[in-house]
Structure 1
Amino acid sequence: MPFSRLSEQVQKLSTPQQSDAFVKRFRDAVREGEFDAIDLPERFTLPKKFKRRGSEETYEKDMKDMVFETSAKFDKWFEGVDQELAAAPQRGRGKPKLTVENLEEGVIDFKALAEETRRKLQNSYEKGQNLGNSRKSKAAPAKPPTKAKRTTKK
């Protein structure tokens, strides 16, 4: 039976930026018994470039290499996973920052944000009113202040 390495299979991916997701799926498939593989003591570098938050610096990750039997079943599994990963939408940069420039360019919907702010303020106001009213009704009726009696003679 022909054997192949995980590092070689990662190179065959159509989208190298999805190599970490492929390795995770590969390990899951081995764990679930879809096909057999063994760990090797060597490590290999993923082709994906990772970025640290808050900087433009990139780095790479190393993974443990594995050996597995290549078969028609594995080839079919690989094709399916490769197509899924290629079709998976790439994660965007998230929501655009709230700046005057983005508001003026129309990147951010001002009316929607204004409505959201109005709703937050109304909810906060109602919450405060409810809290005040609940404390008012729970408080015991105030007793008239009693005069302290004198214990000494005038």
Structure 2
Amino acid sequence: MAYKKLSEQVQELSNPQRSDLFVKQFREAVREGKFDATFLTERFTMPKTFSRRGAEGTYQRDTRDMLFDVTPDFEAWFEETNEALAQTRRTGNVKPTAENIAAGLVDFKALAEETRRKMQASYEKGQALGKGRSRTSSGGGASKTRSRKK
């Protein structure tokens, strides 16, 4: 039986920036019983670098190391997981700036249609609100004349 540390396996990832997600998936697979592993007393630093919003610099995280049995089931799982992690990309929304529209990164026609739809909905909401107020204020308000005691 060949045993291997999780820290060694993380080094074999094709995209080290996805090491945090790989560790999560590894632990989930152990929890589900796909392969056997045990925690070690040592910790290791993951190769992924994190950055805090609004702060300068980067940092790395440590996690507990694990020892697992390298089996054909694990090898198949690793190949599949590594490939999936390498392919998945988080695509953020491109901001609709003049430069991005001119570069063709954002569909101008779709943005214009969405803007038209929002403006129409806002207009209709305002009209409905105005009609509702005119109906309620003309009816049973407070009396304009007061009776005085003499």
Distance 2:90 2:67 in 1: 31
Distance 1:130 1:118 in 2: 18
Q: How does 1:61-100 map to 2 (within 5 A)?
A: 61-88=61-88, 90-92=89-91, 94-100=92-98
TM-score (norm: length of structure 2): 0.80
Distance 2:77 2:144 in 1: 86
Aligned residue in 2 for 1:35: 35
Cα 1:75–1:140, aligned 2, differ >3 Å: closer, same or farther? same
Q: How does 1:1-154 map to 2 (within 5 A)?
A: 1-54=1-54, 57-88=57-88, 90-92=89-91, 94-138=92-136, 141-142=139-140, 145=143, 148-149=146-147, 151-152=149-150
What amino acid is the match of 1:63?
T
Q: What is the root-mean-square deviation of aligned Cα atoms in Å?
A: 2.7
- CA deviations 1:99-150 (Å, max 9, x no partner) are 3333344433333323222211111111122223334445572479575555
Shift of 1:43: 0.8
Distance 1:40 1:143 in 2: 76
Cα 1:13–1:140, aligned 2, differ >3 Å: closer, same or farther? same
Q: Which of 117-126 and 96-105 deviates more? A: 96-105
TM-score (norm: length of structure 1): 0.78
Distance 1:96 1:150 in 2: 68
Distance 1:34 1:58 in 2: 34
Q: Which of 24-33 and 102-111 deviates more? A: 102-111
Q: Counterpart of 1:38 in 2: which secondary structure? A: strand
Query: Aligned residues: percent identity?
Result: 53
